[in-house]
Amino acid sequence: MATENSNNPPPPPPPAPSLPQYPEMIMTAIESLNDKNGSNKSAISKHIESTYGDLPAAHTTLLTHHLNRMKQNGELVLVKNNYMKPDPNAPPKRGRGRPPKPKVPLPPGTVLSPPRPRGRPPKPIDPFAPTSIAKKKTSSSSGSGRPRGRPPKKVKTSSPAAAPDGVPRGRGRPPKVKPAVAPVGC
């Protein structure tokens, strides 16, 4: 078989068909169909198939992809499943959400105050308060008599003699004690 492959050269690849780009084909199809409500995807596909006979196998996938891309770019408008060219006189489409408020220009020479700092503002200092309380307050940390954090663990100083004497208890639940039953017919 190796000799057969070396004797016969591989066939040349088929020449690429001279198809225009998909966006061009879509635009010409919409223009030639000339429907005032636009053209749906199947009508565009049929027109392209009838005009350009030799289409790739993935024609429907490519058509869907290019239609979506043209719709995203604003080259086409989708209204009730029909694609049409956008109206050149139409106002631009608004984005989602509330538009930002227009900023009022400040007159020249106005100095902006710095923005407020983060966090809670400090309490105002009373000028009539005695100063000894303020000094005392700075020495204590949180106001209560307790120190911060977890208290230290107390060390056990119990001796092993404190354990109860007798038989050590076994594992698990002890068996239920059943009362002795007296014979009935004595």
Q: Residue 11: pLDDT above 50?
A: yes
Q: How far, in Å, CA of 158 to CA of 119, rounded? A: 51
pTM metric for this prediction: 0.42
Task: Say how far apart CA 49 and CA 35 lie, in whole Å.
Answer: 18
- Third-level CATH fold of 22-84: Arc Repressor Mutant, subunit A (1.10.10)
Q: What pLDDT, in 10s, does the model give residues 58-87? A: 888 999 999 999 888 888 888 888 888 887
**Residue 76, helix vs strand vs coil:** coil
Q: Where exactly are the structural domains of the chain?
A: 22-84
Please name the helix (run of DSSP H) or strand (run of DSSP E) that holds residue 47, with its range, or none.
helix 41-51
Listed in sequence order, the residues at least 6 apart from 147 whose beta carbon sits closer than 8 Å to its beta carbon are: 141
> Taking 50 as the threshold, does the pLDDT of residue 145 lie above it?
yes
Q: What is the mean pLDDT of residues 101-112?
A: 78
